[in-house]
Structures are given as structure tokens and as C-alpha cells.
Amino acid sequence: MNTVPLKLENIAKSFGQNLVLKDVSIELNRGEVLGILGENGAGKSTLLKIINGVYEASRGIVEIEGHRFEKVTPELAKAHGVAMIPQEFNLVPTLSVFENVFLGRELRHPITKLLDKRSMRQKTAEVLTELEANLDPDATIETLSVAQKQMVEVAKILIFDARIVIMDEPTTVLTDKEVAVLFRVVESLKAKGVTLLFISHKLKEIKSMCDRLLILRDGEPVYFDAVSALSEHDMAVRMVGRELNQIYPAKNEDIGEVALEINELSDTQNRVKDVSLQVRRGEVLGLAGLIGSGRTEIAECIFGLRKCQFTSFKKDGADIRVKSPKDAFNLNIALLSEDRQGAGLVMNFDLPQNITLVSLKKYLKPLIDHKKALDVAGQYKGEFSIKSDSLTMEVGRLSGGNQQKVYLAKLMDTNPDVLILDEPTRGIDVNAKKEIYHFVNELTQKGIAVLLISSELEEIIGLSHRVIVMREARQVAELSGSDINEEKIMYYAAGVNQDSAEETLSGAIA
């Protein structure tokens, strides 16, 4: 078999008018690991989805093992040995490990035609041993940890003899030890001649695991060559394509009175323990920390979505109680959730319907004044430069960045003076990010207090006046001035010694 396992010719993809992939051409060898790097929205996931048949390419040809396709379907991809370990697992939680491994391709007894559970169990056990995963084939999926679930996904792939394996950020959910196991799995797959495509934000992993590297920037391939030719710093520069600090405006210097103050905040589920913070008017307080360190939960407490206790909770010096989002909005506190589609916007509502959803009272006289809502939406569209064909289109059809702007407009229409932003730029393109950063800056100049939660360190550093670092539900540091840098934040967030913090960090510039 000397055919090329995977070849892409001039692949392009657009969603509506939005061109998300431009002219990607690559050719891979057997037993090779290709790293794919790019910022959020650079087109990485789209590319993978074209290869495994979830999306149809707008242009170009996908060649798998010598078969040329203009359109790959999920079935075709599977039939030609393409398998994907998704970020979100496709496992049935109520079934056991071996039942999931063989789901849809169950082995049957040759005579009775009933399920051959014994063989399935045995084969699953063999593969799990190979993976050094100490897992019972009969364990129910819902009892497993995230890493164990991932091992089940890998086992699925191994059993069905995949020849092209796609891994979409497989290490984000794993501990160091589990990552080491995964790396060994990758090595053994390589030895078997399997071709791997590996997406990661961690440059260090890419460097140590991959043979070649594809860097995408705004949908365009800007690098496709050996990994060894680039340093980690070069990778970062090529990925972003400019000096990194350029997109942040100068921080507001006019800091006012304390707008929000909360002392010894704890929630009832031990996700937040004894956190005290205050934000001043015109100030951006960054909340840094790893995923799961309690940042979002603090926001939920303040916004009345989570049961919590505290010794004092004050806004503008007066004691307050927030039992529901309604209380929060009444006190001019607004929260931009990290889950734009699940908690932010009604996807089948148009722009004015979404923007006025919280502030609808302003538009009642006593029936809804649709004209006024439309006018106001038009103003926000201009102010935030929201790109939409019309105001009355459903926001589900807008790009992520434009949706985020509509979400911001919706909150701004409630006239907040304390604004909590949870991952405000997740999944949106660089330009929209820049616009949102400038917008946040404008808000602080107007005296609005901002609480910024972000997993992107750069964003925290670029915008915050002060930073509280969270680790395992507790605040472990408060940084200000020149102490706000990547080394310090990672040092406290990861809770390790300085050296390894720097190491982790150099791998996490993305």
C-alpha cells in the first residue's frame, strides 16, 4: 500500500458570506503526526470536520487512500479508516465500556446471532491493557472520569483499525500522567503506520509530538513544514501574525470609588471558598486561574445563580442581596456568560428581540413598541459594528463574533454599572476580539466596573488593572502593576514551583 493516506487539494469553506478556510493543500505520509495550530476561529475544527465528513467543503478535493472525494460523508470517512477523538465525547452514559466501544458494530454469535458479549468484553479488555488504562470493560460510562472516557474513545479507534486518527485538543482534559500515557499511545499508533492529525493550543506538546506542522491564520495556511524548523516563539508569532500586544488599548487611568465589594464568599458546593474581592468604578479586575478553579462560580454567586454565603456584599457602599438574575439586573449588575449560545442569546430571535429581552420594560407602552426596539437595535448595530444582513434576521445565522456583540448590546441595554465578562472572546475572530477589547476600555472610561474572567492570559494581562488568581476554589494571589505577567499568574494558578510554571507557560502561549 503505497497510496498517500490523506491529501487535501485547495480546500475552501465558507459559511454564508463568511470565508473560514482558504485554499488548504496538504499531503500526509503514513505513520506521521501532523500538528495543527491556530487561534480560535482560525479554521482548525472546520478543516477537521471537512476531513471526517461533518462539513462539506465549498471547494477542493479530499483524497483518502487514493480515493478522491468532492464531498466526504461521515460514512465514507469511517469506511476509509478516518476516526476522530472528539473534544466532547460521543459515549452513551448509561451503557458499559465495552458496549460503547462496540456501539453500532456489535459482534454477534455466529450461530445464535445474539450479541457475543464475551468476545466484545475480551477484546475491549485487551485494548485497554494495551493502553495501560486500568478500566473495567463492564464499568458504566457515567461512573468514569473525563480521562477515562477519553481512553474509551481511543479504545474504540484501536479496535476498529483506524488509519487516519484526528485528535481535537485531546490533552486539555487530562492530567500530566494521563498525557504521558496518551503520548505513548500516539507512538504505538505511529509505529502501526497510522496517520494522526493533532490539534492543540499547547506549543510544547506540538513540538514534542508532531513531525510536521500546519499553522492556520484566519483560515489561511501560513506554514506547512517540519516542526523542528520552528521554535515555539516562532510558532506563536506565525499563528497571530503580529506583535501580540498591539490589540489592547491603553488602560483607563481614572479609577473611582468601590463599586462592588464582597467578603469571604463561599458557595454551598465548595466550588468557591472564602473569596474576597472589590472592583472600583473604571477598573478591570481580572479573575485568572485554570478551568474549574472557581472563576465562573464566583460570577454565578454575584449574579444570583448560585447559592452562597458571605460576610458582606456591597454595591456602592450599600449592603445588597442578589437572589436571582432579576435582582442583579435591578442593581445594574450584568453578566456575560461564557456560554453564548446556551445562556446568552435566543438563537431564533432577531436582533431587536434579543437586545430588548432583559430591558423589555423600557419598550412597553403598554404593548411592545417594536419601532423603538428596532431603532435601538439599529443604534447598537452601528455602535458595535455588528455585521448582519438585516436587523430582523435570526441571530443564529450570525458569526460568533457578531453574536457576541449582540449579546453585549443586550446587556448594555440594561444600563449596567458593574459588568461581569466570562470568557468574552471565546470562539471569535481576532478582529472582533480587538473591537471587544476597545469596547471594554470605553466602558471603564465611562466609570463602569468590569470583572473579567478569561482563560487567555494575554487578555487578562492586556486589560486588567488588578488580577486575582484562583486555584481550587480559593484565591491564591492578587497581582497588580508589573506583577501582572504570565509567569506570576501561571505560578499561582498551577500551584507549582517557578521553573515548571515557566515550562507550562511557554507551552500555553496560545
List contacts with other proteins (CB under 8 A).
305, 324-326, 328-329, 335, 337, 339, 342-349, 353, 357-358, 360-361, 364, 366-368, 370, 390, 410
* C-alpha cell recorded at residue 235: 510558532
Q: How far is CA 222 from CA 22, 124, 247, 269, in A?
A: 11, 41, 20, 46
Task: Look at strands 418-422 and 333-336 and give their pairing.
Answer: parallel
Q: How far is CA 355 from CA 245, 362, 404, 432, in A?
A: 32, 12, 11, 18
Nearer to other proteins, 368 or 496 (CB): 368
Q: Alpha carbon 235 to chain centroid distance? A: 20
Give the C-alpha separation, 173 to 313, whole Å: 34
DSSP 266-333: EETTSSS-SEEEEEETT-EEEEEE-TTSSHHHHHHHHTTSS-EE-SEEEETTEE----SHHHHHHTTE
Task: Report, in Å, the least distance between residue 305 CB and other proteins.
Answer: 8
Nearer to other proteins, 329 or 380 (CB): 329
Nearer to other proteins, 277 or 420 (CB): 420
Nearer to other proteins, 377 or 505 (CB): 377
Residue with the three cell numbers 473525563: 146
Peptide bond into 366 cis (omega under 30): yes
Nearer to other proteins, 331 or 467 (CB): 331
Is residue 308 a contact partner of residue 267, using CB atoms and an 8 Å limit? yes
Number of CB atoms found within 10 A of residue 473's CB: 21
Nearer to other proteins, 274 or 339 (CB): 339
b/e map of 319-344 (b: 16 or more CB within 10 Å)? ebebeebeebbebbbbbbbbebeeeb
Give the C-alpha separation, 349 to 229, whole Å: 49
Nearer to other proteins, 327 or 472 (CB): 327
Q: Alpha carbon 489 to chain centroid distance? A: 20
Nearer to other proteins, 358 or 476 (CB): 358
Residue with the three cell numbers 504521558: 180
Is residue 302 a contact partner of residue 322, using CB atoms and an 8 Å limit? yes
Length of the chain measured in residues:
510
Number of CB atoms found within 10 A of residue 463's CB: 26
Task: Report, in Å, the least distance between residue 328 CB and other proteins.
Answer: 8
SS3 288: strand
Task: Report, in Å, the least distance between residue 82 CB and other proteins.
Answer: 24
Nearer to other proteins, 316 or 369 (CB): 369
Task: Report, in Å, the least distance between residue 325 CB and other proteins.
Answer: 4
Nearest to 476 by CA among 439, 501, 506: 501
Reading across the β-sheet that carries 212-217, which strands appear in turn?
82-85, 164-168, 195-199, 33-38, 212-217, 220-226
Task: Report, in Å, the least distance between residue 17 CB and other proteins.
Answer: 12
Task: Report, in Å, the least distance between residue 55 CB and other proteins.
Answer: 15
Task: Report, in Å, the least distance between residue 355 CB and other proteins.
Answer: 11
Task: Report, in Å, the least distance between residue 308 CB and other proteins.
Answer: 17
Nearer to other proteins, 37 or 335 (CB): 335
Is residue 346 a contact partner of residue 354, using CB atoms and an 8 Å limit? yes
Task: Report, in Å, the least distance between residue 303 CB and other proteins.
Answer: 8
Task: Report, in Å, the least distance between residue 343 CB and other proteins.
Answer: 5
Q: Alpha carbon 500 to chain centroid distance? A: 24
Nearest to 10 by CA among 218, 300, 221, 254: 221
Nearer to other proteins, 16 or 481 (CB): 16
Task: Report, in Å, the least distance between residue 18 CB and other proteins.
Answer: 17
